């Protein structure tokens, strides 16, 4: 089976691992599935070739023997369904782990993305200063609720699962904001995720892409060049 994902040719974060291909890389590393990476330059993200993979012209996408997927949650869920290691065998435990994928993406991540929007995208707008405390309060509320549920457990529901993978990935986006520093249990949860060897490999692979020399050959057109995940 050949798996190919897409990633930014150069991520705006310069390799901090915040672009969402890191989540997919992490899932593939957890299950031991080798993969190739198709680097998509900005100029090509909204071109027909990439829109055929993702109608919104975004990364990451996932291609596997004729199947093309987009949306990180769906991709990670698919990987977890096809390989052992990211979802429990017990049907109820599996349903709960899947619930955490949805909770991370639809309940925890939205206010975190609002923070990025308020601070960066709308940073020069007149409403920024009024809006920021409201957004921060919404995040704090979610993090307090999550902390209460996590308690002293290592992971959200028994063994590490795709739900934890997505939740840790979502929370990593908060690192620069200082929120996690005020919530030691949640910070330790995120640190446990980051310490996993599979995360480390995923992070290193995206870092290599995003820190390759500026004068390295330009990314070839997607159909022409598949770059090995380990090869960069």
Contact residues: ligand GTB, CB under 6 A: 11-13, 18-20, 45, 57-59, 71-72
Of 72 and 118, nearer to ligand GTB (C-beta) is 72
In the complex with ligand GTB, which residue's Cβ is closer, 185 or 212? 212
CB of residue 148 to ligand GTB, shortest distance in Å: 26
For ligand GTB, the closer of residues 120 and 195 by Cβ is 120
Question: Least Å distance between CB 171 and ligand GTB?
Answer: 14
Q: Which is nearer to ligand GTB, 178 or 197 (CB)?
A: 178
In whole angstroms, the minimum distance from the beta carbon of 154 to ligand GTB comes to: 25
Phi, psi of 119 (to 5 degrees): -75, -40
Question: Minimum CB separation from ligand GTB for residue 48, in Å?
Answer: 15
Residues contacting residue 161 through CB under 8 Å, at least 6 positions apart: 80, 86, 87, 88, 97, 100, 155
Shortest gap between Cβ of 4 and ligand GTB (angstroms)? 16
Complex with ligand GTB: residue 123 or 184, whichever CB lies closer: 123
Q: Give pairs for 169-172: CB < 8 Å, separation 24+.
A: 169/20, 169/22, 169/23, 169/26, 169/104, 169/193, 170/104, 170/105, 170/108, 170/109, 170/112, 171/108, 171/112, 172/17, 172/18
């Amino acid at each position: 089976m050949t798996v190919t994902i897409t990633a930014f040719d150069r991520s705006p974060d310069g390799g901090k691992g915040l672009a969402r291909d890191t989540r997919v890389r992490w899932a593939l590393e957890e299950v031991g599935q080798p993969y190739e990476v198709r680097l998509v330059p900005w100029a090509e993200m909204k071109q027909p070739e990439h829109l055929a993979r993702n109608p919104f012209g975004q990364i990451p996408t996932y291609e596997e023997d004729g199947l093309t997927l987009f949306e990180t949650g769906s991709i990670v869920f698919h990987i977890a369904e096809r390989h052992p290691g990211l979802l429990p065998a017990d049907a109820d435990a599996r349903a709960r782990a899947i619930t955490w994928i949805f909770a991370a993406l639809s309940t925890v991540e939205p206010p975190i993305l609002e923070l990025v929007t308020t601070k960066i995208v709308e940073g020069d707008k007149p409403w920024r200063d009024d809006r920021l405390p409201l957004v921060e309060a919404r995040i704090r509320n979610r993090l307090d609720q999550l902390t209460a549920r996590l308690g002293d457990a290592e992971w959200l529901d028994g063994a590490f699962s795709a739900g934890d993978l997505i939740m840790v990935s979502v929370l990593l986006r908060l690192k620069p904001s200082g929120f996690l520093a005020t919530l030691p249990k949640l910070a330790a949860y995120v640190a446990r995720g980051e310490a996993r060897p599979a995360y480390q490999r995923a992070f290193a692979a995206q870092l290599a892409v995003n820190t390759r020399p500026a004068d390295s050959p330009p990314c070839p057109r997607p159909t022409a060049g598949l770059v090995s995940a380990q090869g960069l």
